[in-house]
Amino acid sequence: MEQVLNYIQGDLRPALGQGWLDGHAPADGSVFAHIADSGAEDVDLAVKAATSALTGWIAMGRQGRHDALMHVAALVERDLELFAQAESRDNGKPVSLAREVDIPRAISNLRFFATAILHWSSEAHITDDVAVNYTDRQPVGVVGCISPWNLPLYLFTWKIAPALAAGCTVVAKPSEITPYTTHLLAERCIEAGFPPGVLNIVQGMGGKVGAAITAHPGIPAISFTGGTATGARIATTAAPMFKKLSLELGGKNAVLVFSDCDFERMVAETVRSSFSNQGQICLCGSRILVERSMYERFRETFVARVQKLRVGDPADASTDIGAVVSEAHMQKVLGHIELAKEEGGRILCGGERVELDGALAEGWYLAPTVIEGLGPACRTNQEEIFGPVVTIQPFDSEEEAVAMANGTVYGLASVVWTSDGSRMHRVARQLKSGIVWVNCWMLRDLRTPFGGMKQSGVGREGGEEALRFFTEAKNICIKI
């Protein structure tokens, strides 16, 4: 049995309490690893290590931190295939996706922030002939980074890379459901001679390790990505301690399809935006709103394309849809499909578990599911499902489409399909979401602000936003 260990003070070690959790492979339901089941005492050890490493890490300067991060990135790139296979096994995602998206993006995250810090400058404000003000941005200190299971190494590095580049030291917790590639990352850190204590990874359950990180008085800032309910719990603990908080939470993203769009491109991308990573991406479009004049054509073409998607072995290069992340998550998604039926929804395709043959018979597979006949206010169109399930709804006017898109408590991402240049801007500006993609989806530039409005989050990640979060701005005013 393989082991997923904590990485504290530069060493790989089991939890102090010697407990272990099972690590499952969603493809066949088997247990392939034992994961350190850590607790508050392991977090405390990690905070001590991070605190003692802080001064030395800051003293390495921007160039030193850049070099250290680039070295780790190079080792991950060297072992890209190993990482991709491991991510696919741990998460159930097609290995092709891990190979082309997850791991390359994790490498880019490390490189992007390693170089960003070299180019970062701060503001100066000249107060007439009276004074010069300049903004000094110093690292916040020891920061906590808590990440989810859907894009495990991708989102883990999206947090730790800016924190480390900015000069913070880190106590990080990946999801207990998909921790394996962070263990591989820790091994590469050791190989690269990354300074001990600068990055610490504490494995284990959210309710124990995540909660201990959130409550620890030695951690003044928390960067969290996960569900809205967990975000609320974290805020409840952290807010009275006046910690800095960055919360990237759930979504119920709308895709607005206007009849003047490029139909072929729209359909191809909408299949992708609906079912990539089994629909388990916070940015996936789950409510597809289609102008009524095009509705029938869209429904027919879209459903036919979705039915062609291959659900199968994540290790097989021809698989489009792999396994969902856990049995509990599969049951949760199936529960949402039952709810949709109770609410009067018609299942146009999918709607059930897929049972594969042979060694994969115990795996957690779901057929990509399209539902119609539900109004915007029902629970199916209000609650996040986070699986391979989308609804389609017709609309009659631009105003109605915008109102439907904005009509949930979430506000993470939206997609607009239109060829009308004025409408692109008009609609995009009215949508209450942190990201609007027009005639594309998941086209990412790491310099742009990333995050959600309303219950999809607080704060922004990406580019300078992330570097600002991990630093404290101090105004220094010098009288002339």
Pick 236 or 307: Cβ nearer ligand NDP: 236
- x/- letters, 176..215, toward ligand NDP (CB under 6 A): xx---------------------------xxx--xx--x-
- x/- letters, 448..477, toward ligand NDP (CB under 6 A): ----x---xx--------------------
Residue of 248, 269, 291, 320 that binds ligand NDP (CB under 6 A):
248
- By three-state DSSP, how is residue 116 classified? helix
For residue 454, report the phi and psi dihedrals to the nearest 5 degrees: 50, -135
Min dist. Cβ of residue 451 to ligand NDP (A) = 7
Min dist. Cβ of residue 294 to ligand NDP (A) = 29
Min dist. Cβ of residue 477 to ligand NDP (A) = 37
Ranges assigned E (strand) in 112-173: 124-127, 131-139, 142-146, 169-173
Q: What would the two tokens of residue 341 be?
A: 């039926």
**What is the C-alpha separation between 63 and 47, in angstroms, rounded?**
25
Pick 14 or 251: Cβ nearer ligand NDP: 251
Alpha helix positions (H), 9-150 = 40-59, 61-78, 80-91, 95-97, 103-119
Read off the amino acid at residue 442: M
The DSSP code for 309 is: P
- Comparing CA positions, the residue from 6, 459, 468 lying closest to residue 234 is 459
Min dist. Cβ of residue 20 to ligand NDP (A) = 14
Question: Which of 87, 176, 248, 461 is an active site residue?
Answer: 248
Pick 4 or 234: Cβ nearer ligand NDP: 234
Q: Is 440 among the residues known to form the active site?
A: no
Output the CA–CA distances (angstroms, integers) from residue 357 to 100, 203, 312, 325, in the order listed. Answer: 27, 33, 10, 19
Q: Is 400 among the residues known to form the active site?
A: no
The region that residue 133 occupies, defined by phi over 0 for left and psi between -120 and 50 for alpha, beta otherwise, is: beta
Within residues 336-365, the interface with ligand NDP by CB under 6 A covers none
Pick 281 or 289: Cβ nearer ligand NDP: 281
Q: Where on the chain is the footprint of ligand NDP (CB under 6 A)?
A: 146-150, 155, 173, 175-177, 205-207, 210-211, 214, 225-227, 230, 233-234, 248-251, 282, 384, 386, 412, 452, 456-457
Residues marked active site are found at 248, 282
